[in-house]
A and B are shown apart, each in its own frame.
Chain A
Amino acid sequence: MRRAIGHIGRLLLGLVFLAAGLLKAIDPAEFARQIGAYGMVGAGTAGLAAPILIALEVTLGVLLVAGAWPRAATLAGVVLLLLFIGVEAYGIRAGKTESCGCFGAYVQRTPAQVIVEDLVFIGFGLLALWGLKGWDGMRAGRALKTVAIAATLGLALAIASPALPIDPWVTALRVGRRVADLPVAAQLSDVGEGRALVAVLDVADPAAAGIAGTLNDLVPRPGMPRVLALTPADDEALAAFQWTALPAFEVRHVDRPVLKRLYRRLPRYFLLEGGRVRTVYDDAAPEAAELIGTEGS
């Protein structure tokens, strides 16, 4: 019985780490931003720490699920969770209320919720440590191979993920989706059944002025859909953008956690028509001919 409880604890903790690592790997850049938002390390360090943490969590998850060095892996997992609790406590003390990114960019948690969650996960770990006393799991040679493969795959996934074409599955923006079902439905309520090209962009990004220039060229052309932009940037960045880029289109602020559900990388564009997402464009705005050509077809 005791052994069975230990295995349940091990498997639960392993699955938690595996899920956390894989969900973070969907959007490592956002995870790096979230690490940086705690203010404990600079952006460069956060950018480096993000793929390493992802690889570490994936490796721990695989080790626990596979039963490789179970007690050592559980102990490492518990230490990591205690470290996370410390970071969250620091976040609360610093007045941070936004999501931690513990389960990637698409699962929102406040620091207080995370601490409770982590304590439950530590409970799984303690059950595993108690129940698996005397159980060594797989042989050392195989365990070593498992570590090497899991770490390599975890790191490769974190590095390659931004280039993988998985956006339609991991973001809320996909062709055919009704505008009313988008997380930004309230912000697009005035578009109705009409045609609109929506640019999702960070106006605080130095490249935004160039994007505004491209969109400004589209706006006055006959047959062009209405153009508008959604940005997670704050009011001050929006004002600075307005004064310097002179956008010929409306720019609306949307809270970052809401808008984040539409993208992994910015900029992203989508064409609305008949109350649905008709086309999604990544990285570059569509050509004018493409937009005029799609009307009514």
Chain B
Amino acid sequence: MKRSILRHSVVGGVLVLAVGWLAAPAQQSQSVTCRPNYDFSVEVDGVFPRDALFYQSETRGSGRYFIDIPACKDGLLMDLGARKIFAVPRTLVSRADNGGVVVREVPAQGAAYALAIEGPVINFKAEQKKVRIMPVLMRPPLTGPIELATLVADRPEYRAGMKAYAPHPESIDAIRKSGKPIEIEAFFGTWCGHCKEYMPKFLRVVEECKSAIKLNLVGVPKNFGDQPGPWQGKSVQTIPTIIVKSEGREITRLGSQPGATPETELAGILRALQ
């Protein structure tokens, strides 16, 4: 009797293990649909490659993220539940219509890398490259006068925010046709969350109305109140501060509260000026 129980237990145990072994790769090989997440930056060997992007699974809470580093042979699927990064051959990754990616399959036998979570930063090494995933606001800031093209090339979150914003066409038309060019001095911080929300909308408007707006863009450091720079003497208390000038004289400042639409505000200012 005892032997029979023992035999059944062993057989049962082996069956459970076998099912578990079979189920594990099956679960891992499920397809994962991801969309870009511009709240995080990908640092590779101390630099932020322009096209390195971070994607998060459409299934919130799954703990799965896709990391696309062009210099890496494979795509990288981060599974926070498993605390691992799985290498995914690029042939198994396709582009989705919404700018995201679909990882069709994660090979069970592929390379896997360990990761370490240090507060807001995830560290790992893949294909001999030291990779860090961090909030975009933690990146070293861009400071001083800066060209719009340089900012857009350097910061994917601004690029994506500008692309996603749809300004009111009537207001854009009104700005273009105003016939009275205005100068705008914009103080912002690449480390500032409000700026990350507002500035891409504002910059999209500036880009669409290039002929009517002359822009001076200035990146400010953290503690800008204590540091010398072009923001001094201009009552820049908070950022972003958008100073609208006409004929060299400040006429007003734009509001950057959540939900603000810079094109309607600018169109209104220009109407008032006429």
* Contact among B80, B193, B223 for A246, CB-based, below 8 A: B80
Q: Nearest residue in A to B238 (C-beta to C-beta)?
A: A97
> Chain B contacts of A239 at CB under 8 A?
39-40, 119-121, 134-135
Q: How far is the CB of B139 from chain A (nearest CB, A)?
A: 11
User: Which of A238, A243, A244 counts the most B-chain CB atoms under 10 A from its CB?
Assistant: A243
Indicate the size class of the contact surface on chain B.
20 to 34
Is A207 an interface residue when CB atoms closer than 8 A count as contact? no
Q: Nearest residue in A to B64 (C-beta to C-beta)?
A: A246
> Chain A contacts of B226 at CB under 8 A?
95
> Chain B contacts of A186 at CB under 8 A?
257-259
Bound together, the chains give a CA A247 to CA B63 distance in angstroms of: 8
> Chain A contacts of B63 at CB under 8 A?
246
> Chain B contacts of A237 at CB under 8 A?
120
Q: Give the number of chain A interface residues (Cβ < 8 Å).
A: 21
Q: Mark B39-76, 1 if CB is under 8 A from A, else 0.
A: 11000000000000000000011110000000000000
B225 & A240 in contact (Cβ 8 Å cutoff)? no
> Chain A contacts of B238 at CB under 8 A?
97
Q: How far is the CB of A273 from chain B (nearest CB, A)?
A: 22
Is A171 an interface residue when CB atoms closer than 8 A count as contact? no
Bound together, the chains give a CA A189 to CA B223 distance in angstroms of: 32
Bound together, the chains give a CA A288 to CA B60 distance in angstroms of: 19
Q: Which of B234-274 contact A (CB under 8 A)?
A: 237-238, 257-259
Is B110 an interface residue when CB atoms closer than 8 A count as contact? no
User: Which of B60, B81, B237, B257 counts the most A-chain CB atoms under 10 A from its CB?
Assistant: B60
B223 & A235 in contact (Cβ 8 Å cutoff)? no
B61 & A246 in contact (Cβ 8 Å cutoff)? yes
- Point out residues on B near A: beta carbons under 8 Å: 39-40, 60-63, 80-81, 117, 119-122, 134-135, 137-138, 193, 223, 225-226, 237-238, 257-259
